[in-house]
Amino acid sequence: MKHTDIIDVIGKDDYLGQEITVCGWVRTARDSKNVAFLALNDGTSLNHLQIVIDKSSDIEVDPEATKLGASLKVIGEVVKNERNDTNEINAKEITVLGVCPADYPLQKKFQKLETLREMPHIRVRTNTFNAVFRVRSVIAAAIHRFFQERGYVYINTPLITGSDCEGAGEMFQVTTIGYSKDYKSEEEYYADDFFGKKTGLSVSGQLEGEVAAMGLGKIYTFGPSFRAENSNTQRHAAEFWHIEPEIAFCELPDLIEIAEDMIKYIIKEYMEKCPEELKFFEQRFEKGLTEKLLSVVNNDFAVVDYTDAIEILKKADVKFEFPVEWGCDLQSEHERYITEKVYNKPVFLINYPKEIKSFYMKLNEDGKTVAATDLLVPGVGEIIGGSEREADLNKLLAAMEAKGMSTEGYDFYLDLRKYGSVPHAGFGLGFERIIMYVTGMSNIRDVILYPRTVGNIK
Ligand code: 4AD
């Protein structure tokens, strides 16, 4: 169907005086005896195009064309509305492509985000989700561009895996047969299953990413990860999109530099390419959002040692729900205090105790901490987790043993340390978390098309 995108009609004067065809859904309709105004949106812009129907002309208008949600094809002349200096269309011919009955769920102008979550197939037609998904798309492209411009190779790691990367056992199992009591042991059951061994959906592409980096030097992945975490929070989803660069010949300070550059790059692109959306989020969801993002782009992030953070938290004049001691895993209340109250900007926390981090992280010279980093941001908390990897075979084996892990299934990973091992590092950025940060949306369920969370699959 040949037609012009509404964004081009609104944004440029090239079509003024011309007769063109536009398509879209009716967002609002004002109908009177002599004239009707329709606000048409085709998804290309947050702004609607006004269609003016002069009823005294010989245009025939199907009454269904003025119903909220109806889809139309409109032919008409582009004219300038002098009152508000916008382009609109004087309709000559209107075809109803799809009628929309009165039970259309978006009759009310503003609906609660919770209500909209119940209808993921409809909510994309609202301004909020129109803006969220356009920003997601622009940021996804910016992430690819950032890595491509710097010579990283985009790779796709498997989604079905036999190894649990984070070692936390939070994997969804992949099976084609249900467990039955007839099996004498778990081993017998798994042997009978599709792959002949226990498999699950990958929580991270990192281990295979490391494999690729050992041949390609610099790689990144951009795909879904799955976590069967039973945490019903505003920032956890069972299925989320994960960006994981892995870099050979890279140490922790280099990794931090790459992560900071990447975040600044994508925010700059977002501010440049989505000014309308940013204005919308500022007005509706986070006052001061633009200023916050400008400040992120123009200032250095803080780098704080875990041990120093513990001291700051111990001295804080705040009663935390979870007590703080060196060695404890930081809770979200602690992370928020550090990034929101103390620094009020993104903070790389580094050098965590080895006991609370994953087996693959490089042991520091103190023998107590690992060269890991989490990037914490105000409002959202952790958006990046990463580390330098343990490149020494014996140290890696010792770390696995200390965590009670079997080496079964990790032969390939150990081989990387056996054959030409090199210092290397990588991180994982939660795609939905960065979208939350730049839009001010406070719930992860509102930045992904179909959220999957505990007890919820639509
Ligand atoms: O800190 P995580 O668990 O690190 C890893 O998976 C490493 N293997 C990454 C690497 O070094 N290549 O997860 C990385 C990021 C988190 O900082 C967070 O942004 C996001 O992934 N994330 C989630 N996002 C949404 N829902 C969840 N359940 C998430 N779990 C992690």
What pLDDT, on the 0 to 100 scale, is given for residue 169?
66
Predicted pLDDT of residue 106: 94
Question: Which residue's CA is minimally distant from atom 25 of ligand 1?
Answer: 236
State the pLDDT confidence band at 109, using cuts at 50, 70 and 90: confident
The span from the CA of 102 to the CA of 59, in Å, is 25
Going from the C-alpha of 314 to that of each of 308, 318, 357, 377, the distances in angstroms are 10, 9, 21, 20
DSSP 325-341: -TTPPPPHHHHHIIIII
Q: Cα of 433 to ligand 1 centre, how many Å?
A: 10
Residue having the nearest C-alpha atom to atom 29 of ligand 1: 236
Report percent pLDDT > 70 for the chain: 99
Using the atom order of ligand 1, give the atom closest to the CA of residue 386.
Answer: 11
Is the confidence at residue 168, as pLDDT, over 80? no
Where residue 160 falls among pLDDT bands split at 50, 70, 90? very high
- What residues contact residue 313 under an 8 Å CB cut-off, 6+ apart? 320, 324, 334, 337, 338
CA-closest residue to ligand 1 atom 31: 430
| Å from CA of 123 to ligand 1 middle | 27
- Looking at residue 232, its pLDDT comes to 86
Position in ligand 1 atom list of the atom nearest CA 374: 17
Render pLDDT for 69-82 as a digit per residue (tens, 0 to 9).
999 999 999 999 99
d(CA 227, CA 397): 25
Q: Looking at residues 97-107, what average pLDDT do you find?
A: 96
Written as six digits, the tokens of 284 are 């509706």
Mean pLDDT over all residues of the chain?
Answer: 95
Test site for ligand 1: of 204, 243, 356, 431, most ligand atoms within 8 A of the Cβ: 204
- Nearest atom of ligand 1 to the alpha carbon of 236: 26
pLDDT tens digits along 272-321: 999 999 999 999 999 999 999 999 999 999 999 999 999 999 999 999 99
Whole-model pTM?
Answer: 0.96
Residue nearest to atom 18 of ligand 1 (CA): 430
Ligand 1 atom index nearest CA of 426: 11
Protein residues with CB under 6 Å of any ligand 1 atom: 165-166, 204, 206, 227, 229, 236-237, 240, 242, 244, 382-386, 426-428, 430, 432-433
What is the average pLDDT across 114-118? 96
Q: Which of 382, 388, 390, 424 to mutate to test the pocket of ligand 1 (most atoms within 8 A of CB)?
A: 382
Q: Which residues contact residue 291 at a Cβ distance below 8 angstroms, ignoring those fewer than 6 apart?
A: none
Torsion of CA 321, 327, 330, 333, to 10 degrees: 30
Q: Whose CA is nearest to atom 23 of ligand 1?
A: 430
**pLDDT tens readout for residues 120-138:** 999 999 999 999 999 999 9
Q: Per residue in 346-395, pLDDT tens?
A: 999 999 999 999 999 999 999 999 999 999 999 999 999 999 999 999 99
CA 162–ligand 1 middle distance (angstroms): 19
Give the pLDDT confidence of 209-264 residue by residue, as tens digits: 999 999 999 999 999 999 998 888 999 999 999 999 999 999 999 999 999 999 99
Whether residue 432 has pLDDT greater than 90: yes
Both structure tokens of 1: 């169907």
pLDDT at residue 449 tops 90: yes
Q: What does each C-alpha distance from 326 to 313, 357, 375, 423 come to in angstroms?
A: 10, 14, 19, 28
Residue 33 has pLDDT above 90, yes or no: no
